[in-house]
Structure 1
Amino acid sequence: MANGRNDEIDLLDLVLRAVRIIRDNFWMILIFFVLGTALGSMHYFSSVKVYENKMIVSSEIMTESYSKKLIDNINHYLAEGNTKALTSLLGISAETASNVGVVRIESPYSNESEVAKEEDRKYFIITVEVYNQDILPDLQKGLINYFENNAYVKVRVNQKRTGYQETIARYDQEIKDLDGLKKRIYDGDFFNNTKGSVVFDLTSINKELVELTIKRLEVKDKLELVNSVQLLEGFTRFNNPVKPRLSVSIVAGSFVGLIFVSILIAFKSIRKLLRMEEAAREAKR
């Protein structure tokens, strides 16, 4: 019971000491707090603002891992500060290249198990950090051209385009043959050249024509979207930067001010203790 009471007294004594330290150094603490807050605000308003912008693209050609590899090449040049290489790689101006901080690409799927195969992940989010949002149109165009002009991508696009065109040609021929057969049946030419009785269900022919027409339209749609990258949503300008944040700068500045004043108070306390010790020694002599 006595130990518990002693602990309460020690804790109360510690609190009272802290209160006395704050009371004795109140104005110094307040001044350094205000100075730290002011420095944090100055840092925010004087630092380079970083804006984060996103665009959404789709691709029938590129896989997610290959797309990230292409982005890694861009970030490598950004880390080196190699503006000349970026202007050549993306076909953008030197001003645009110098105002890009980082480029990231990610899948919009929150859980990759939602799409079993990587080849089926056809949508990507490209995120950029820039220092000037005026460059976004030039950067957007440069990134799209960069993906489309890749040698591997060009070959795959040509292969798919040729395949779709050949498939459409086959559908056209099959539709033409069925239309010709249907016309011959209606005109009676088919039965005149056929020995014996032949029964035809024109409904099945019409159904086959409809199915072939639908399949042809589906392939035609794929042909029109055969380009390596389709822009679904371009970069959007925002008013507020992502870095630095005013609230974080102010809190950090005030915290630094409090740390600095704490060091000064601790230094003063140590000096006071040393002087008291010296005075005690002199009193004993």
Structure 2
Amino acid sequence: MNQTHREDIDLVTLLAKSIRALRRNLVLILSCLGVTIALAIWLWSSSPRVYESRMLIYSSILTESYCLELADNLNALVRDGNYPILAQRLGITEKQAAAIRKVTMRGALETVPEEDRLAIIVTVRIKDNGVLPDLQRGIINYIAQNEFVKVRVEERKRAYEELIARVAEEIEKLEAVKQRIAQGTGSSSGSMVLMNPSDAYVRTVELLERKLGLEERLRLVSGVQLVEGFTPLNKPVSPKLAVLLASGLIAGIILAAVIIGLRYAWVLAQRDE
């Protein structure tokens, strides 16, 4: 019982000493907080505003991992401050390139396998919303003019053209069969053609549908297609005043604690002398 009572007294004594120390250094603590918070406000007011915008593109050629590599290449130029090369690759001016802070690309549907993520979300952080129209065209051209993309596009086009030609040839053969059936001849070059007229009609429709589908895919083959462009947003994503104020508050407390600790160490050193 006495032990517990003594511990309570020690805690009260410690609390009282802490309050007295706080009162003695109140001006110092408030001064440190004022300086660091003022510095945080100055940083917020003087830092350039950074805005974020998103663009949705479609590509049957690119995978998400390849898009990530393209974005990393652009970000490397941004970090290096190599705005002439960045401007050259995106087809924009050096001033516009200097407004870019970050470019990210990711698949729109993360729940499907990577090879099926045909929709890509391009997110940019910039210091000026006025560069968005030119930046949008620049990013699309940067992707479309990539050598890997151009080769893949040409290969895909040739593949579809060959398939369309083969399907068209099959349709012509079926049309010839249908004509012979209609004329009442069931043989061609000595061989019997055993086919029900309705089956020939159904098969022809199927091949026509397949041909139309392949022609549509051929028309859509491209390195990248714009689904929805960048939309300028007036609310900046950084700097954030709340984060800077919290950082300033913590920095002020740490600064005050360091000064109080140094002052206390100085007093002890003077006593030892």
Shorter-chain TM-score: what band? 0.7 to 0.9
Distance (Å, rounded) in 1 between the aligned partners of 2:255 and 2:187: 107
Taking the aligned partners of 1:260 and 1:64, their CA distance within structure 2 comes to 46
Q: Quick check: 147-156 or 71-80, which moved more?
A: 71-80
Q: 159-168 or 254-263: which moved more? A: 254-263
Deviations 1:217-255 (A, max 9, x none): 221221122101122232232232222211001111222
Cα separation, partners in 2 of 1:199 and 1:71, compared to 1, 3 Å: closer
RMSD: 3.0
Does the alignment pair 1:133 with 2:129? yes
Match of 1:190 among 167, 185, 190: 185
Alignment partner, residue 36 of structure 1: 36
| Aligned 8 A contact 2:67 2:106 in 1 | no
Name the CA distance, whole Å, in 2 between partners of 1:192 and 1:151.
Answer: 52
Q: 1:209 aligns with which of 193, 204, 207?
A: 204
Paired residues of 1:57 and 1:230 also in contact (CA < 8 A) = yes
CA contact (8 A) 2:186 2:193 kept: yes
Task: Please show how residues 86-97 of structure 1 align to structure 2 within 5 Å.
Answer: 86-97=86-97
Question: Which shows bigger deviation, 92-101 or 56-65?
Answer: 56-65
Q: Following the alignment from structure 2 to structure 1, what is the Cα–Cα distance between the partners of residues 187 and 72?
A: 70
CA contact (8 A) 1:58 1:122 kept: yes
2:92 and 2:43 map into 1 onto residues whose CA distance is 31
Comparing 34-43 and 7-16, the one that deviates more: 34-43
Contact 2:187–2:193 (CA<8 Å) still a contact in 1?
A: no
- Residue 224 of structure 2 corresponds to residue 229 of structure 1: yes
Unaligned regions of 5+ residues in structure 1, if any? none
1:153 matched to 2:149:
yes
What displacement does 1:129 show? 2.1
CA displacement at 1:209 relative to structure 2:
1.8
Q: CA deviation at 1:268?
A: 4.5
Structure 1 Cα separation of the partners of residues 241 and 63 of structure 2: 39
What is the letter of the counterpart of residue 222 of structure 2?
N
> Does the aligned pair in 1 maintain the 2:186–2:194 contact within 8 Å?
no
Structure 1 position 159, deviation (Å): 1.3
Q: For 1:41-52, what aligned pairs fall within 5 Å after superposition?
A: 41-52=41-52
Whichever residue aligns with residue 67 of structure 2, its letter is: S
Given the alignment of the two structures, is residue 73 of structure 1 paired with residue 91 of structure 2, yes or no?
no
1:257 corresponds to:
252
Matches within 5 A, 1:244-283: 244-270=239-265, 277=271
Inter-partner Cα distance in structure 1 for 2:250 and 2:186: 97
Question: 2:42 is paired with a residue of what secondary structure?
Answer: helix
Evaluate the alpha carbon distance shift between residue 37 and residue 192 of structure 1 in structure 2; reply closer, same or farther with a 3 A threshold: closer
Whole-angstrom CA distance in 2 between matches of 1:17 and 1:192: 113
Query: 1:169 maps to what in 2?
Result: 165
Q: Give the whole-Å Cα distance in 2 for the aligned partners of 1:256 and 1:219.
A: 64
Q: Offset of 1:104 from its aligned partner? A: 2.3
Aligned residues: 273
After superposition, residues 95-110 of structure 1 pair within 5 angstroms as 95-110=95-110
Could you tell me which amino acid in structure 2 is paired with residue 22 of structure 1? L
Helix, strand or coil at the partner of 1:190: coil
Q: Which moved more, 1:146-155 or 1:123-132?
A: 123-132
Farther off after superposition, 235-244 or 207-216: 235-244
| Contact kept in structure 2, 1:35 and 1:254, CA below 8 Å | no
Q: Following the alignment from structure 1 to structure 2, what is the Cα–Cα distance between the partners of residues 32 and 71?
A: 42
Name structure 2 gaps, 5 residues minimum: none
